[in-house]
Amino acid sequence: MMTRRFHPGLRALLWALTALFMLIPNRRALAYSDHRGRKVDSLEAVLRSQNPPRGVDLLRVCKDLMWGYLQTDAERSRLFARRALALSYELDGLNSRADALRILGLLAYGEEDYDTALRYYNWALAVTDSMRSVKRYAESDVDDNLSTLYGSIANLYNMQDKGHLAIAYYQRALPIFEKYGWKESCTILYHNVGELYEGMGNTEEAERNYLLAREAALESGDSLMSALAQKGLLKLYVARGDYGRAAEASAQAMAYYSLHRAEEVGDYVTLLVETARMNLMQGHQDLPRARALAREALGHAQDDLMPETRFDIYALCCELAIHEGRWQEALEYGLRSVHENDDEATLTDASCYALIAQAYAELGDGPNARAYINKVYGMMERFATSHYQSALSQMQVLYETEKKADEISQLQRERRLLRRGSLLAGAVLMLLALAFCLLWLSLRLRRRTALIQARLEGELDERVRLARDLHDRLGGQLTLLRQQLSAGGGQVGAVELTDQAIREMRAVAHHLLPDALSRHGLRTALGEFCQAMRGVSFSFMGDERYLDRSRDEAIYCVAYELVNNAVKHSGAQHIQVQLMADQEGCSIVVSDDGNGRLTAEQAEGMGWRNIQERVAAMNGVVDVSSRPGQGTEVSIVIPARTRG
């Protein structure tokens, strides 16, 4: 039985894309075109033209470019995916946002950064889920995205050898395929699940899914997938010794692969190997036929095959030589059928170790025979540790049928169980200790956050009182003073000074707590504040509905302090304020083209401490990027308030 291995770099990306494109639903098949055929040069020229596209047209071009560069230039694909992501917020394009996130996930997947890929996929799932509440998206649009993302996540877990998780996500996609009658997609899903179960040693589930794949392929007329299912069944039936079913599966698979051996060389060679093994079965042995098939498979050994396929060819030749009593030749092929590095060995290598041990024994080399028997035991121990539940039955079969080794004594079993029980108990104690520490840290953090929040709320109350007093008391007195001076005639200078004092007082009161903030919200208040400042621009992206009104005052004060700092200390000509909001929270970015120096005095000042405390009270994060002569950018991300 072959064990799936990882594909590095671009090969993994191409593999993922192949599986992804194959999951395109039937109803979209006629409109679908391979992204690799897109003319990226002409699209780039469109962006550089005198009248470049804008809005929705620009978003469409960015999406075409992120797909077009996907397999040829990862960095440019990532660049246009991020541009498409930003435009999707400006244009409220949820479907395009999910598309861009999926591309970013595929790029991370191709670089074997599986954690990052999973984060992008889950983000895309959240975006897709939010499409349900938007009327312009049909249910089929949501289902298209979900099924593709489920397939992508399943492929990711598949490549990580996490079979149970991969199967779970494939099964999430299955009801969608069945709902729309997407037989091609069902065929691929059943086949992939069958391979996973086969790799886990669950031959009953593997057979059931291969049969379902064959049935769906016959209904859809997909001869390739039907042949793949037959090839999978052939391996299972050969392993069981079921000659009748194996011969039937071999004949049907050979009918396809004999016509497509050039383009499907890897699968064709695997079919040759399994059919040859079928002809070595007891009671149905046909050594000349097995020899001819082995010779043809061996002729492909130097082709561009996966290493495991090449190893399987040599393993077949070793088995055939053992059947014919050619022990030296069996030993040579056996040694070529396993990985040189024991750390890379798979369960298949353990089977070959047994053949090598048998060859050494027949050649009278007892020490080497015992050494390879010990390798079998070592391999079994490693495999049981990492795949205990799914591979236990395989381990037993290997002990009883291939190794003919003595049964493990009850004492050894008890020791192993005791050792595992001790490890489990230790792990439970560690988890309990970790949980206690996390609980203590959480309570401490909540207390600190509550103190900061209370302080900020008191500060805001004081600002409200101060603003009211400035406006009602001092403002009224200054107005009365102006009336008295005007009634006395003359003294124009005093009147002008009084007018100026009134304006300054109103400006102070406005910035302490602007009316627009309580009446119209954070977006309007920040916009008016920036408009009143020279050289300060403001932009907003996202959906204003996601702004938490209870946090408006704190966020406004943070932005106000950041802009004032830039005006006072940076010498900037231009300051840009960006506010973004979506269902995950909000972020605010203040950037300037000033001197780019954040002095120690500024970093330790009260204003900067106030900013950090306010952001911490909202569970936010502050990031400062500053370079001398290139300006400063302060980015603050505040997550949405959790509801509990």
DSSP for 578-633, written as a single string = EEEEETTEEEEEEEE-S-----HHHHTSHHHHHHHHHHHHTT-EEEEEEETTTEEE
Euclidean distance between CA atoms 631 and 360, whole angstroms: 73
Reduce the DSSP state of residue 3 to 3 states and report it.
Answer: coil
The conformation of residue 386, written as its DSSP 8-state character, comes to H
Partners of 585 in beta bridges: 582, 639
The whole-number average pLDDT for the span 238-255 is 91
pLDDT of 379 above 80: no
Tokens read off for 181: 């009658």
pLDDT of 369 above 70: yes
pLDDT of 503 above 70: no
Q: Which CATH class is domain 521-639?
A: alpha beta
Q: How many CB atoms lie within 10 A of CB 479?
A: 12
Place of tokens 């541009």: 83
Q: What's the per-residue H, E or C state across 23-83?
A: CCCHHHCCCCCCHHHCCHHHHHHHHHCCCCCCHHHHHHHHHHHHHHCCCCCHHHHHHHHHH
Confidence grade of residue 397 (pLDDT, cut at 50, 70, 90): very low
Please give the pLDDT value at position 50.
86
pLDDT of 534 above 80: yes
Chain centre distance of CA 49: 35
Euclidean distance between CA atoms 557 and 540, whole angstroms: 17
CATH number (3.40.1160.10, 1.10.3720.10, 3.40.50.300, 1.25.40.10) of 1-173 reads 1.25.40.10
Tokens read off for 81: 């995916």
Residue 477 has, within 13 A of its CA and on its CB side, a CA count of 6
pLDDT of 476 above 90: no
Residue-range domain boundaries for the chain: 1-173, 322-403, 408-513, 521-639
Tokens read off for 453: 């929040």
pLDDT of 349 above 80: no
Euclidean distance between CA atoms 132 and 25, whole angstroms: 19
The conformation of residue 406, written as its DSSP 8-state character, comes to P
Euclidean distance between CA atoms 513 and 518, whole angstroms: 8
More confident residue, 644 or 517: 517
pLDDT of 22 above 70: no
Nearest to 317, CA basis, from 338, 298, 302, 301 = 298
Euclidean distance between CA atoms 222 and 22, whole angstroms: 12
589 phi, psi to nearest 5 deg? -125, 125
Please give the pLDDT value at position 483.
59
Please give the pLDDT value at position 494.
61
More confident residue, 186 or 470: 186
Helix axis angle, 9-22 to 94-110, nearest 10°: 140
Euclidean distance between CA atoms 67 and 63, whole angstroms: 6
Place of tokens 């007329």: 221
State the chain's mean pLDDT as an integer: 78
Nearest to 209, CA basis, from 250, 175, 246, 171 = 171
DSSP for 477-519, written as a single string = HHHHHHHHHHHT---HHHHHHHHHHHHHHHHHHHHHS-HHHHH
Partners of 627 in beta bridges: 631
579 CB contacts (<8 Å, ≥6 apart)?
522, 523, 526, 538, 539, 540, 541, 559, 586, 587, 588
Please give the pLDDT value at position 587.
92
Confidence grade of residue 492 (pLDDT, cut at 50, 70, 90): low
Residue-wise pLDDT tens digits, 149-192? 998 998 888 888 778 888 888 888 999 988 888 888 888 889 98
Please give the pLDDT value at position 539.
93
More confident residue, 318 or 567: 318
